[in-house]
């Protein structure tokens, strides 16, 4: 009789599970299917395994002979899930306190068995508060317990919105976390163009006042344009930023690009400081061209255009983020097949600038050579690689493949937790 074991059956979403199946005939084919309802849509995966001489299958040991993923991967049935439809769909329920339940079904010959794998985003005691004060729009997740905790402020990239799942997971791991929106959410502007850095300074001040963080520690964490932003914030407000975590970041200031206000254009300004636009790498750049993107094959790679701007050293110099002004540890995460921009090269430049300046704090760079731009979240489907940009609608590839992106998702999160643990020790 087939039996499925999931260890642990219920845990935070960043916990790897061991899935085993017993009771099959020796060397029998065992088909394993999953279905997870995510915000009203079913995501599925399937793999076929050959049982061992004892009639057992262990996903931490065995590679499938066919299915939605290849190779040995304990969580392959999760990261290889697909919704089978068109476009981007959410990975989480709108209410993050609602768990993600994955039904696992194993079948062999005329026998079958089911089990549940439950992923939680909010640990017991974590609380959620909407923030609508002093022009700020975001959501605060407080870590459980009454003792003082370090804090993190999280910003999204060019898709806009409020990154609540990331904040919920930070809080579940012991950090008060403010997911701060700055465009593309209710109560905010639709586009990224002309975003004042002073808005984020208000966010840092509000977060400190609201949670009274341990040792006054407030890190900033952002992805993509948010990765560019957190480096800018660390350089602009060094006394207010305790540490910087940049997922697939930029070493340079960029214009509005894909999330720009059409009235200003993608080469218009993105960031303002003291009422003036920051010089970005497209400004008076002798070689920057959108042609490799506009005329490139579908799905488009934004990185093809980004690389043209790197031929003008003077434009690069003027747009370079002065990261040596950051007064805290810096962590960089990048992908070598980044379809949005060359985050590996950008991260190398940031690291080199900090080392050349004898930066007094740790600098860590985790590059995943085959991964793309979507290095995001541990143990969720990594199959949404090509999609229409949520602002300009262009069909774009983020690069990488699901398996390497999934590996980068899990490894980078564990590295971030280690980085923060050391920074707050």
The pLDDT tens digits of the residues spanning 104-139 come to 999 999 899 999 999 999 999 999 999 999 999 999
| Average of per-residue pLDDT across 221-236 | 98
- The reply to whether 387 belongs to the active site is no
CA distance 158 to 408: 21
Q: What are phi and psi of 153, to 5 degrees?
A: -110, 125
**Catalytic site residue from 45, 158, 224, 303:** 224
CATH 2.60.40.2240 domain locations along the chain:
3-120
pLDDT digits (tens, 9 = 90+) for 321-351: 999 999 999 999 999 999 999 999 999 999 9
Q: Which helix (H) or strand (E) holds 77?
A: helix 76-79
Tens digits of residue pLDDT in 183-213: 999 999 999 999 999 999 999 999 999 999 9
**Across the chain, what does the average pLDDT equal?**
97
Instruction: Tell me which of 373, 387, 389, 412 is the catalytic residue.
Output: 373
How large a percentage of the chain has pLDDT more than 70?
100
- Cβ atoms 62, 131 nearer than 8 A: no
Assigned fold of 3-120: Immunoglobulin-like (2.60.40)
From-to residues of CATH 3.40.50.1820 in the chain: 127-423
Separation between Cα atoms, residue 275 and residue 262, nearest integer Å: 21
Q: Note the pLDDT of residue 90.
A: 95
Does the annotation mark 224 as catalytic? Answer: yes
Among candidate residues 338, 344, 347, 389, the one labeled active-site is 338
- Please say if 338 is a catalytic residue: yes
CATH number 3.40.50.1820 given to 127-423: yes
- The C-alpha atoms of residue 286 and residue 69 are separated, in whole angstroms, by 45
Phi, psi torsion values for 347, nearest 5 degrees: -65, -40
Predicted TM-score (pTM) above 0.75: yes
67's enclosing H/E stretch is strand 66-67
The pLDDT of residue 388 is above 90: no
């Amino acid at each position: 009789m087939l039996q499925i074991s999931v260890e642990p059956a219920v845990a935070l979403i960043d916990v790897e599970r061991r899935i085993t199946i017993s009771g099959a005939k020796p060397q029998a084919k065992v088909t394993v299917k999953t279905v997870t309802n995510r915000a009203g849509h079913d995501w599925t995966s399937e793999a076929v395994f050959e049982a061992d001489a004892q009639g057992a299958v262990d996903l931490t040991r065995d590679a499938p002979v066919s299915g939605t993923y290849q190779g040995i991967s304990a969580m392959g049935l999760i990261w290889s899930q697909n919704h089978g439809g068109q476009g981007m769909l959410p990975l989480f329920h709108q209410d993050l306190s609602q768990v993600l339940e994955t039904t696992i079904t194993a079948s062999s010959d005329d026998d079958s068995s089911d089990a549940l794998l439950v992923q939680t985003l909010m640990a017991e005691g974590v609380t959620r508060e909407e923030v609508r004060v002093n022009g700020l729009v975001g959501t605060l997740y407080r870590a459980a317990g009454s003792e003082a905790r370090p804090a993190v402020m999280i910003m999204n990239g060019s898709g806009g919105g409020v990154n609540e799942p990331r904040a919920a997971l930070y809080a579940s791991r012991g950090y008060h976390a403010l997911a701060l929106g700055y465009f593309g959410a209710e109560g905010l502007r639709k586009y990224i163009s002309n975003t004042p850095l002073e808005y984020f300074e208000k966010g840092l001040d509000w977060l400190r006042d609201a949670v009274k963080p341990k040792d006054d520690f407030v890190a900033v964490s952002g992805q993509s344009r948010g990765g560019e932003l957190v480096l800018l914030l660390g350089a602009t407000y060094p006394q207010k930023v305790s540490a910087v975590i940049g997922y697939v970041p930029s070493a340079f200031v960029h214009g509005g690009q894909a999330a720009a206000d059409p009235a200003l254009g993608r080469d218009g300004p993105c960031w303002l400081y003291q009422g003036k636009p920051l010089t970005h790498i497209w400004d008076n750049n002798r070689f920057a061209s959108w042609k490799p993107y506009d005329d490139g094959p579908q799905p488009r790679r934004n990185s093809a255009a980004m690389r043209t701007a790197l031929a003008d050293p003077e434009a690069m110099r003027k747009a370079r983020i002065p990261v040596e002004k950051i007064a805290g540890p810096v962590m960089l995460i990048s992908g070598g097949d980044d379809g949005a921009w060359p985050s590996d090269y950008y991260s190398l430049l940031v690291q080199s600038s900090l080392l050349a300046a004898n930066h007094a704090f740790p600098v860590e760079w985790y590059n995943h050579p085959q991964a793309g731009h979507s290095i995001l979240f541990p143990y969720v489907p990594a199959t949404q690689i090509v999609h229409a940009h949520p602002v300009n609608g262009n069909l774009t590839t983020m690069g990488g493949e699901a398996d390497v992106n999934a590996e980068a998702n899990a490894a980078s999160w564990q590295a971030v937790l280690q980085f923060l643990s050391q920074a707050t020790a």
